[in-house]
């Protein structure tokens, strides 16, 4: 049985990211397993997160996950979208690690599930 592969996305300050890294390091030093999910992607603010995860990009990832690896042209056809716009979306999603390129220049979503942690209030400094 294949293990489910999840990624946690969210909004986090640089300070919070540093605290998380220190916590993970201390867990590793103590011989404890990493907290789940291991894979995480954090954005500096909600606007940036929403820029990268627009409804069209989420639809793109869902289509790739459902159909399997496709090249840009096949994906654009499957989505009924313009090649250039799909190319831009795939490039951005690949850059942040939500989409992966295969050896044969196709693209796939390696995640079974994307979990979101969205704080509603900014922490006071």
Q: Which domains does the chain have, with CATH numbers?
A: 6-117 (1.10.10.10)
Instruction: Provide the pLDDT confidence category of residue 28 given band limits of 50, 70 and 90.
Output: confident
Q: Would you state the pLDDT for residue 62?
A: 96
Instruction: Provide the pLDDT confidence category of residue 60 given band limits of 50, 70 and 90.
Output: very high
Of 116, 1, 49, 67, nearest in space to 77 by CA? 67
Angle at 117 between CA 112 and CA 118, to 5 degrees: 135
Angle at 33 between CA 32 and CA 34, to 5 degrees: 120
Instruction: Provide the pLDDT confidence category of residue 25 given band limits of 50, 70 and 90.
Output: confident
- 1: pLDDT strictly greater than 60: no
Percent of the chain with pLDDT over 70: 92
Place of tokens 């940036």: 48
pLDDT tens for 30-43 read: 888 877 667 889 89
């Amino acid at each position: 049985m294949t293990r489910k592969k999840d990624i946690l996305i969210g909004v986090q300050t640089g300070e919070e990211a540093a605290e998380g890294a220190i916590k993970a390091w201390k867990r590793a030093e103590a011989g404890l397993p990493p907290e789940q999910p291991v894979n995480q992607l954090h954005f500096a603010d909600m606007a940036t997160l929403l820029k990268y995860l627009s409804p069209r990009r989420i639809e793109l990832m869902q289509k790739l996950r459902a159909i399997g690896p496709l090249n840009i042209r096949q994906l654009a056809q499957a989505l009924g979208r313009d090649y250039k716009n799909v190319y831009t979306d795939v490039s951005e999603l690949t850059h942040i690690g939500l989409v992966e390129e295969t050896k044969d220049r196709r693209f796939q979503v390696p995640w079974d599930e994307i979990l979101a942690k969205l704080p509603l209030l900014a922490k006071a400094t």
